[in-house]
Amino acid sequence: MTSIESQVLQPYKYGFVTDIDADTVPPGLNEDVIRLISAKKGEPAFLLEWRLKAYRHWLTMREPRWANVTYADIDYQAIRYYSSPRQQKKWDSLEQVDPKLLETFEKLGIPLNEQKRLTGVAVDAVFDSVSVGTTFKETLAKEGVIFCSFSDAVREHPDLIERYLGTVVPSSDNFFAALNAAVFSDGSFAYIPKGVRCPMELSTYFRINASSTGQFERTLIVADEGSYVSYLEGCSAPMRDENQLHAAVVELVALDHAEIKYSTVQNWYPGDAEGKGGIYNFVTKRGACAGRASKISWTQVETGSAITWKYPGCILQGDDSIGEFYSVAVTAGRQQADTGTKMIHIGRNTRSTIVSKGISAGRGQNTYRGQVKILKGATGARNYSQCDSMLIGDQCGAHTFPYIDVRNSTATMEHEASTSKIGEDQIFYCKQRGLSAEDAVSMIVNGFCKEVFRELPMEFAVEAQNLLGISLEGSVG
Amino acid sequence: MLEIRGLRASVEGTEILHGVDLTIRAGEVHAIMGPNGSGKSTLAQVLAGHPAYTVTGGTVSYEGKDLLGLAPEERAREGVFLAFQYPVEIKGITNAYFLRSALNAIRKHRGLEELDPIDFLGVLEEKAKAVELGDEMMNRPVNDGFSGGEKKRNEILQMAVLEPRLAILDETDSGLDIDALKTVANAVNRLRRPDNATLIVTHYQRLLNYITPDFVHVLADGRIVKSGGKELAHELEARGYDWLRPEAAAV
């Protein structure tokens, strides 16, 4: 028995391709493509204008290269910006949806059929550029909760879209957010009215299918005063030799005393063991705790993607508001992740908690990058940050870049960091009790991530633990 | 049950065991004593299959099987248990979960049904009672923040639950106060059965005041230089190990 090796096999379970006729635009990006996307979706004028403005700004921007990741230049003219499964007009119920699509989501463990739906979870399923169906719409409507695809929201609730779109992540925010604003195709929208506790978990499942296609979805969640919602997001993609770009934007708005819990289990195709193929996951996620005593909590489990670049953050504007970030990021094979959070304290007595767990195996590179900013007016602000890294094998890397900017002397800051290695002794101890090497690693890693997993809704916690096991399979010799 | 013949083993290129011979039959308790650096712990680790040690010669037959040909987890599933001198911490995983996973891995290997958490708790309570060790450590993370004594008691409780055929206790007495020593010894005595065997590795005789061995062996410079009954332990306590050294050199 040799020592712990860093050879990673990475069996990816969701790598199949659905053979479905798609309505795609030719590769390339210009104003005509944007007009075409907007026209296909029958958008109001304000939205087309907003897209074009974003596009024109994007043309002046340069792709950010400060992240601790390396990749070949992306040819933005080689990407297809729209792909939709061809379908006969609009369907009134899921029963009219192409069975191939339903089958696809069923294979992914996301049944959309009435009888097989996940109990207590309403799902919006997004296939390439469009939403193919949202479950439990009526049940939610009884409570006044709006949960639908972004496109539907644009048609049916243009006022809400116009009011909140781009208020948290402006179209000029960064290179990828600007690109998304110009070409976003679909995504999910949720609105929880005043005082309503959303009766079930809301969930979106994103699936990339078509080749050479970018996925640019946009999610907007607005929690009105005193409301509560828990939202889950999952994703996967076929195994392809090429790299595919996923540049999403998520905006959350929590008004007075509202709470949003946003959980992600990200499992985009990570590429093969040599680093061929895989998704570039360049995502901008931000929440505004706009109201007094509002709360936004991000929980993410990032196991997939060739490259992950995301910093779900909170703007703590309302007094007494709370921001939380719980993250597990795994990089195995040749995966790279540069992820963390931004907590911007503006209001008085605002609090934030950051718990980040990075796991590196194989030749994976894992970077935590987090910013905590306490502005002048944020009297009594508090932050607690904990960044732990775990290394498996000796060819991987863990990096931590905390940025702390305090402009109010009453603030309390705590920062803890640790790096550990799964030791031969730990593995041997488990084996001596009869456990296999795989079970031993999975157990040690799950124990390491426990503080984050317990933040996830039950069904997702189980999925996350399994995913972790799969991602690290073969990490130990 | 266990037959060690001419066992040689090295760590990082240095040979520690220079040819160990030892036979253990079912129902017996053997004690291996010896000065620091004599190779006692190496023997324990080699029998359990620690990857840091390389076997350079000899054979070990365990219940008719070639023990050295089995992976560490296979040895464990076949009933070889090592109570560690330095038990390892696993953060975030409760003792109960860890031990149930271990027990189920062993049960699966033996063609027995795996236990769910409820059934397991029943087994655990029963075993903890039988060896008079509390199970209050079970909901804490494995060895995390345990005192030295707690870690050793935890090893013995694991042993009670996993029911090994061959238990190897590596310096289980080190770091224990007299009360803890008695508790641990008492537990080991209660686990003695005609169909299992125990190999106690220890530097001092004091554990043997409470666990009576059938045989005592002295390991010095990587070889067993003297074997005898329980009275040998008393002799060692009185005379130390030095009087055996010339004998070792002469072999």
What part of B 166-195 touches A (C-beta under 8 Å)?
A: none
Measured distance CA(B44)–CA(A294) in Å, rounded: 58
Closest CA–CA distance from residue B230 to any residue of chain A (Å): 29
pLDDT at A421 over 60: yes
SS3 of residue A341 by DSSP: strand
pLDDT digits (tens, 9 = 90+) for A329-366: 988 888 888 999 999 999 999 999 999 999 998 888 99
pLDDT reading at A126 higher than 80? no
**Contact: B76, A436; criterion CB under 8 Å:** no
- Name chain A contacts of B89, Cβ cutoff 8 Å: 426
pLDDT tens column, A369-413:
999 999 999 999 999 999 999 998 888 899 999 999 999 999 999
Q: In one letter, which amino acid is A305?
A: S
What pLDDT sits at residue A4? 33
- Rounded CA separation B119/B110 (Å): 18
CB < 8 Å from A in window 189-248 of B: none
- Tell me which chain B residues have a C-beta less than 8 angstroms from the C-beta of A2: 51
CA end-to-end distance (rounded Å), chain B: 27
Predicted local distance difference test score (pLDDT) of residue A201: 83
pLDDT value at position B240? 81
pTM of the entire structure? 0.82
Q: Do A448 and B72 touch (CB under 8 A)?
A: no
Q: Which residues contact B228 (CB under 8 A, 6 or more apart)?
A: B215, B216, B235
Report residue B159 CA to chain centroid gap. 9
Q: Which residues contact B118 (CB under 8 A, 6 or more apart)?
A: none
Residues in chain B closer than 8 A to A443 (CB atoms): 90, 93, 97-98, 101
Q: Sort B89 into a burial class: Cβ within 10 Å, 0-12 / 13-18 / 19+.
A: middle
Query: By CA distance, what is A431's nearest residue in B?
Result: B73
C-beta contacts of A445-448 below 8 A and 24+ residues apart: A445/A359, A445/A390, A445/A392, A445/A472, A446/B92, A446/B93, A447/B90, A447/B91, A447/B92, A447/B93, A447/B141, A448/A357, A448/A359, A448/A388, A448/A390, A448/A420, A448/B91, A448/B92
Please list every residue in chain A whose beta carbon sits closer than 8 Å to the beta carbon of residue B100: none
Q: What structural domains does chain B harbor?
A: 2-250 (3.40.50.300)
**A99 Cβ neighbours under 8 A, 6+ residues apart:** none
A398 touches chain B (CB under 8 A): no
Cβ distance of B90 and A444 shorter than 8 Å: yes
pLDDT at A127 over 70: no
Query: What number of C-beta contacts closer than 8 Å exist between A and B?
Result: 85
The first and second tokens of residue A10, run together, are 């990475």
Q: Provide, as residue numbers in chain B, all residues whose Cβ is less than 8 Å from the Cβ of A1.
A: 49, 51, 71-72
The C-alpha atoms of residue B88 and residue A428 are separated, in whole angstroms, by 9
Chain B residues 9-48 within an 8 A CB cutoff of chain A = 48
Contact B91 A447 (CB under 8 A): yes
**Partner A contacted by B146 (CB < 8 A):** no
Contact flag B101-A435 (C-beta cutoff 8 Å)? yes
Contact B49 A1 (CB under 8 A): yes
Is residue B112 within 8 angstroms of chain A, CB to CB? Answer: no
Cβ neighbours of B84 in A, within 8 Å: 429, 432
Cβ within 8 Å, pair A435-B88: no
Computed over its alpha carbons, how large is the radius of gyration of chain A? 22
Q: What is the pLDDT of residue A99?
A: 67
On whether any CB of chain A is under 8 Å from the CB of B72, the answer is: yes
Q: Do A450 and B77 touch (CB under 8 A)?
A: no
Provide the b/e sequence for A235-251 (b: ≥16 CB within 10 Å). bbbbbbeebbbbbbbbb
Q: Residue A8 pLDDT more than 50?
A: no
Q: Of the candidates A125, A150, A399, which has an alpha carbon nearest to the alpha carbon of residue A235? A: A125
Of the candidates A431, A434, A447, which has its C-beta nearest B141's C-beta?
Answer: A447
Judge whether A425 is closer than 8 Å to chain B, CB to CB.
yes
Record: contact A434-B52, CB cut-off 8 A: no
C-beta of residue A284 within 8 angstroms of C-beta of residue A177: yes
Q: A4 — alpha (psi -120 to 50), left (phi > 0) or beta?
A: beta
Kindly state whether B123 is in contact with chain A, defined as any CB-CB distance less than 8 angstroms.
no
Q: What does the DSSP assignment read for A59-116?
A: HT------SS---PPP-TTSSB--EEE--SS--SSGGGS-HHHHHHHHHTT---STTT
pLDDT at A180 > cutoff 90: yes
The answer to whether residue A326 neighbours chain B at the CB level (below 8 Å) is: no
pLDDT score, position A87? 55
Instruction: Give B222's DSSP letter.
Output: T
Min Cα–Cα distance to chain B from A221, Å: 33
Disruptive mutation site among A328, A429, A441 for chain B (greatest number of B CBs within 10 Å)? A429
A279 sits in which H/E element: strand A278-289
Q: Which residues of B touch A428 (CB under 8 A)?
A: 48, 50-51, 72, 88
Residue with the bigger pLDDT between A103 and B74: it is B74
Name which residue leads in pLDDT, A189 or A84: A189
Tens of pLDDT, residues A219-248: 999 999 999 999 988 766 666 667 778 899
A91 interfacial to chain B (CB closer than 8 Å): no
The residue type found at B164 is P
Return the pLDDT at B35: 85
Pick the residue of B54, B90, B162 with the most A CBs within 10 A to test the interface with A by mutation: B90
The residue-averaged pLDDT of A22-26 equals 73
Q: Give the pLDDT of residue A166.
A: 95
If you write DSSP's letter for every residue of A349-412 in order, what string do you get?
Answer: T-EEEEEEEEEE-TT-EEEEEEEEEE-TT-TT-EEEEEEEEEE-SSS-EEEEEEEEEE--TT-E
Of B51, B84, B158, the CB nearest to A2: B51
pLDDT confidence tier of residue A276, bands split at 50, 70 and 90 = confident
Closest Cα in chain A, distance from residue B148 (Å) = 17
On whether any CB of chain B is under 8 Å from the CB of A465, the answer is no
Where chain B has pLDDT below 50, the residues are 248, 250-251
Cβ–Cβ of A433/B84 closer than 8 Å?
A: no
**B125 in contact with A at a CB cutoff of 8 Å?**
no
ipTM associated with this complex = 0.95
The answer to whether the beta carbons of residues B152 and B172 sit under 8 Å apart is yes
- From the list B71, B72, B101, the residue facing A439 with the nearest CB is B101
